Amino acid sequence: MPAIPSLDTDFEHALVELLESSHRAQLIAAGRRLVHVLAPGSRLGLTEGAAEENNDRHLVLPLGEMPRHALKVELPAGFNRAEFERRIALVARLLGAKDDQLRSLRHLRESVHRLERAERLQRALYTIADQASSDRDMPDVLAAMHRIIGSLMYAENFYIVLYDPQSETLRFPYFVDVADPDPPPIDRDFPLSEIVYSPTWYLLHNGVPLMGGFDAIRKQVDGPLTRTGPSAVDWLGVPLLHEGRAVGAIVVQSYREDARYTAQDRTLLSYVAQHVRTALERRRAHEELGRRVAERTEELTEANRVLQRQVLERQRGERLQAALFRIAELASTTDSLDAFYAAVHQVVGGLLYARNFFIALLDDDGQSLRFPYSADEFDTTRSTRSRGKGLTEYVLDHGTALLADSDEMERLQATHRVVQSGTSSICWLGVPLICNERTVGVLAVQSYSAEHRYSKADQELLTFVSYHIANALERKRSAESLKQAYGELEQRVDERTRSLAEVNRDLRQQIIKRERIEQRLKYETLHDSLTGLPNRSLLLRRLGNALERYRQDPTQIFAVLFLDLDRFKVINDSVGHLVGDDLLFQAGGRIRACLKAPDVVARLGGDEFAVLLEHISDGPAACRVAARVITELNRPFRLGVKELFTSTSIGIALAAPHYRRAEELLRDADTAMYRAKAEGRQRYALFDERLRHQAMTLLELENDLRRALTRNEFEPWFQPIVRIDDGTRVGYESLLRWRHPERGLLGPDEFLAVAEENGSAEHIDWQMFALVLEQAPRLLKDDNFISINLSGRHFRSHRLERRLLDLLAQHSVDPKSIRIEVTERALLDNPAHVKRTLERLRARGIAASLDDFGTGYSSLSYLHQYPLQSLKIDRSFVAALDDENTGSTPVVRAIQLLADSLGMQVIAEGIETERQRDALAAMHCPLGQGFLFGRPAPASDWL
Ligand code: C2E
Ligand code: CA
Ligand code: CA
């Protein structure tokens, strides 16, 4: 029996081989060698499972602990079986252990591999999500997704298709194919029907993945299959699903035999597809949001731009408004024409670049140009020139504005032979000064440097302003020429060289001129020059219309608000009248802003405004408007850098059947306003029963007057009229007094206005005349006269002359000793008629005096038309003689000269001081009356 080898080299070698083997095959080979080394010639095999049993011939030994494999050895002949078994068992155990080790190693490797793949997938999905939310462009994002999918499977040819089930259109946001010579256009919509029955169509239509070659796919679909594009060896498409419906698909395809898709790829791609869909959706939402944000931003920017433009326009409007307002003011506030021009320059400078500025005026004959004002960097003087071919003349000729840069000037030179006189400028802007539809001059600005150029807007602005300047200029010039006219007249009479006839002719010319000015003034009489609002006349006119309508249809209720600004005088005195005027201007605007279309706000003068509210429903509605106006005017006013506060009190009168005239409503609103003020300002008051009651006391006065007439409560007092140089009495003025049973002696100021209003003034006068004439014979000594005051209303009666003469005859008074005193107002009421009446009276010996001269219209034009014997200089001028600064000496002197030239006698009224008397005497004023010489007193006092 051969000995069993000890652990010799061979065995050792075989054992190492076994232990080092890292694969199943190596293991088996090593095991076989071990057995051979143990028992040469024995045969050995490995069985699957430990199914076979041991028998005489074979030994079957399980390998390791898991008896899935067994070692099957054919027993060599002649071996001690037990010994052999023992050794083989050792080998089997070794083999088994090694086999187990190898198996678990393989398991480990596999799971590492799996984990790696899972990680790769995970990373891919992350990257996809990442891409979706990145701000890169869509094509870049899709390319990145393509790369990611390429890292998971073979995806050299790859496309994404998106499908809109509603419009049944599809588009390819991404398409890469190495073999397709005619790829579909990127991102263009086309109908799904264009690819009908293609694999993609089925994919979108059925919403299930498709995989395989053309034939394989045909088996997966339930209809005909058509080919699109080159035929692929393998094709894998998965739908992008949204709520169970396909909204797109991802497709990979292969043209290579060695690259094919597996079920695992399909699962993977399906999985990735859902992520791609979410990513695309999120991306789209993100873009949509971005687009909306951009849109909104754009909208806001636009709104902002519009707002800014509005603000600018507003500012410009305000600036312009202020400028126009200043220009209107300038005509009356500047002392001289030169100052006026300079001020205009300043105002224009506030609106545009006016470093170089001039005013050119055409002479009366239209042949030469004067430059009464010029400010210029280069041309220090601009002398008068005869009309030539300059830019200024061009504007004069055409009567329209001219904006000329160098090109335009060249063109004008070529076409009209226009040559710029003076230093040539880079930009020239001139506008005509048009007055009464006649171009009287040009206002021009120019620039010598490129940085200042004028635009069309500047031209418009200057043109606009020019109307106002021309207007103001004309007013200013009229005022100036009037002043001059007075001056010239004075001088001429002073010289006493010319004949009276000559003076008269001059005078007539002055009168014509003056009348022209008056016409213009009349034209402006319907608007207030400061605020541009309608004035009292216009308001009364509108009020009259509203009243008329109301009386025809009593449902057409309307209301009048009368308001004035509280404490305005204080503001005016403390901040200056310019600011005060500005405040009035703004206040007018605010009031107007509270009203609706047909309503009118008018400035009545000073700080008084009135509003006509048409179509108002009732008193409360008018009160609501009043409350609104009060709130508006309570807001601070921004005037330059100052912020001022004012408030208003409002009186309201509502249309009612007893109103006959517009003035009555205005009067009642005024009365109510005083109530509002008395009750603590900043409030409104409705003219109501209580106020009506107050008005009733007025009625009482009227009743009293009537009673006074029947009870002969009136009596004449007399004031002496004297020669100023020596004080001798030449006559008396009779003055009305009322001996009221309860109130005592009343002067005309206390009741005459009411009497004029209710028509009793005439009756009172007649009573007075009778009494005066009764007492006249006693007062009239030598050739004294008595003058009686005549209310203007008398001239409405055709019986005046007859009645007066009868009365004179009745009392045997010589008409020559009686004078009548009439006011300017009375003369103007019905000039032709009054003139005839006065002429007839004069013919019968009764002379007329013009009373209160200088306080009324002071128009020279009518003086010479009327047969006036004397002219009474109003007390206010006489009183002003006392003050050297504001002295009225020139005025009184002018009146005196004028009266002299017209052959009128002058009587100065209200002489109270010796100084006044002396001043008048120095001016050769012949007659006077006043407290200095004697106060009015009953006739008995003078006897
Ligand atoms: P008038 O015609 O200007 O009369 C002169 C007024 O000046 C008078 O006021 C007289 O008292 C006042 N007076 C005279 N000298 C002085 C003086 O030195 N200083 C001051 N401060 N005042 C002086 P009276 O009497 O109150 O009359 C006021 C006006 O009433 C008159 O102004 C006249 O327009 C009107 N009037 C007066 N009597 C009659 C009348 O019989 N018939 C009519 N229709 N009107 C009359
Ligand atoms: Ca008088
Ligand atoms: Ca008078």
The verdict on the CB of residue 432 being under 6 Å from ligand 1 is no
Which residues, by Cβ under 5 Å, contact ligand 3, an ion?
851-852, 909
Other Cβ atoms within 10 Å of 354 Cβ, number:
22
Find the mean pLDDT for residues 388-397: 92
| Residue identifier of the C-alpha nearest atom 11 of ligand 1 | 936
Find the mean pLDDT for residues 472-487: 76
Q: Tell me the sheet residues that pair with 444.
A: 358, 430
| Residue identifier of the C-alpha nearest atom 15 of ligand 1 | 930
The residue among 124, 48, 44 whose CA lies nearest residue 87 is: 44
**Tokens at 628, concatenated:** 């609104």
At residue 181, the 3 state secondary structure works out as coil
Find the mean pLDDT for residues 843-852: 94
| Residue identifier of the C-alpha nearest atom 29 of ligand 1 | 748
**Tokens at 727, concatenated:** 């004080």
Q: Is the pLDDT of residue 121 over 80?
A: no
The verdict on the CB of residue 736 being under 6 Å from ligand 1 is yes
Q: Output the CA 896–ligand 2 centroid distance in Å.
A: 18
pLDDT tens-digit map of 526-582: 778 788 888 888 899 999 999 999 999 989 999 999 999 887 877 777 777 788 888
pLDDT tens-digit map of 630-683: 999 999 888 877 788 888 999 999 998 888 899 999 999 998 998 888 888 789
Q: What pLDDT was estimated at residue 236?
A: 95
Residues 485, 507 contacting (CB under 8 angstroms): no
The verdict on the CB of residue 768 being under 6 Å from ligand 1 is yes
For CA atoms 543, 544, 545, 546, the dihedral sign is positive
pLDDT tens-digit map of 754-768: 898 788 999 999 999
Q: Is the pLDDT of residue 495 over 70?
A: no
What is the number of the ligand closest to the CA of 735? 1
Average pLDDT along the chain: 85
Q: Which whole-number Å values give the CA distances from 512 to 82, 473, 524, in the listed order?
A: 166, 20, 19
Long-range contacts of residues 654-660, Cβ cutoff 8 Å, at least 24 apart: 654/557, 654/558, 654/559, 654/616, 654/618, 654/619, 654/622, 654/686, 654/687, 655/546, 655/547, 655/550, 655/556, 655/557, 655/558, 655/559, 657/551, 657/554, 659/547
**Tokens at 920, concatenated:** 């008048």
* Mutate-to-test residue for ligand 1 from 713, 714, 719, 735, highest number of ligand atoms within 8 A of CB: 735
The residue among 872, 858, 798, 790 whose CA lies nearest residue 828 is: 858
Residues 731, 721 contacting (CB under 8 angstroms): yes
Other Cβ atoms within 10 Å of 40 Cβ, number:
11
φ/ψ of residue 181, rounded to 5:
-80, -10
68 — pLDDT class (breaks 50, 70, 90) = low
Q: Output the CA 910–ligand 3 centroid distance in Å.
A: 8
C-alpha dihedral (829, 832, 835, 839), degrees to nearest 10 = -150
Q: What pLDDT was estimated at residue 563?
A: 94
Ligand 1 atom index nearest CA of 823 = 34
Q: Output the CA 787–ligand 2 centroid distance in Å.
A: 8
Q: Tell me the sheet residues that pair with 60.
A: 72
The verdict on the CB of residue 671 being under 6 Å from ligand 1 is no
Q: What pLDDT was estimated at residue 415?
A: 92
Q: What pLDDT was estimated at residue 3?
A: 46
- For β-strands 905-908 and 927-928, DSSP reports them as parallel
pLDDT tens-digit map of 693-714: 766 677 788 889 989 999 999 9
**CA angle 137–141–145, rounded 5-degree value:** 170
DSSP secondary structure letter of residue 389: S
The verdict on the CB of residue 851 being under 6 Å from ligand 1 is yes
Q: What pLDDT was estimated at residue 5?
A: 46
* Mutate-to-test residue for ligand 1 from 705, 714, 756, 789, highest number of ligand atoms within 8 A of CB: 789
pLDDT tens-digit map of 310-335: 777 777 777 777 777 777 777 677 77
Ligand 1 atom index nearest CA of 929 = 15
pLDDT tens-digit map of 174-201: 999 998 888 888 889 999 998 999 999 9
Find the mean pLDDT for residues 850-855: 84
pLDDT tens-digit map of 777-792: 999 988 899 999 999 8
| Residue identifier of the C-alpha nearest atom 43 of ligand 1 | 789
The total number of residues shown for the chain amounts to: 943
**For residues 780 and 884, which has the higher predicted lDDT (pLDDT)?**
780
The residue among 341, 355, 390, 354 whose CA lies nearest residue 369 is: 390
φ/ψ of residue 530, rounded to 5:
-75, -50
Find the mean pLDDT for residues 886-896: 78
Q: Is the pLDDT of residue 523 over 60?
A: no
Q: Which of 117-121, 613-617, 702-706, 812-816 has the lowest mean pLDDT?
A: 117-121
Q: Is the pLDDT of residue 2 over 50?
A: no
4 — pLDDT class (breaks 50, 70, 90) = very low
Find the mean pLDDT for residues 115-133: 78
Q: Which of 82-91, 101-110, 366-375 has the lowest mean pLDDT?
A: 82-91
Q: Is the pLDDT of residue 743 over 80?
A: yes
Q: Output the CA 782–ligand 1 centroid distance in Å.
A: 25
pLDDT tens-digit map of 434-456: 877 788 899 999 999 999 999 98
What is the number of the ligand closest to the CA of 721? 1
What is the number of the ligand closest to the CA of 821? 2
Q: Output the CA 735–ligand 1 centroid distance in Å.
A: 6
Q: What pLDDT was estimated at residue 1?
A: 40
DSSP secondary structure letter of residue 652: E
525 — pLDDT class (breaks 50, 70, 90) = low
At residue 601, the 3 state secondary structure works out as strand
DSSP secondary structure letter of residue 534: B
Q: Tell me the sheet residues that pair with 242.
A: 245
**For residues 288 and 445, which has the higher predicted lDDT (pLDDT)?**
445
What is the DSSP secondary-structure string of 414-463?
Answer: HHH-----SS--SEEEEEEEEETTEEEEEEEEEESSTT----HHHHHHHH
Q: Percent of the chain having pLDDT more than 70? A: 92
876 — pLDDT class (breaks 50, 70, 90) = confident
Q: Which whole-number Å values give the CA distances from 895 to 192, 450, 874, in the listed order?
A: 106, 58, 11
3-state percent helix, strand, coil for the chain, nearest multiple of 5: 50, 20, 30
Q: Is the pLDDT of residue 74 over 90?
A: no
Q: How far apart are CA 73 and CA 90, in angstroms?
A: 13
The verdict on the CB of residue 867 being under 6 Å from ligand 1 is no
For CA atoms 149, 151, 154, 158, the dihedral sign is positive
Q: What pLDDT was estimated at residue 175?
A: 94
Q: Percent of the chain having pLDDT more than 90? A: 40
At residue 771, the 3 state secondary structure works out as helix
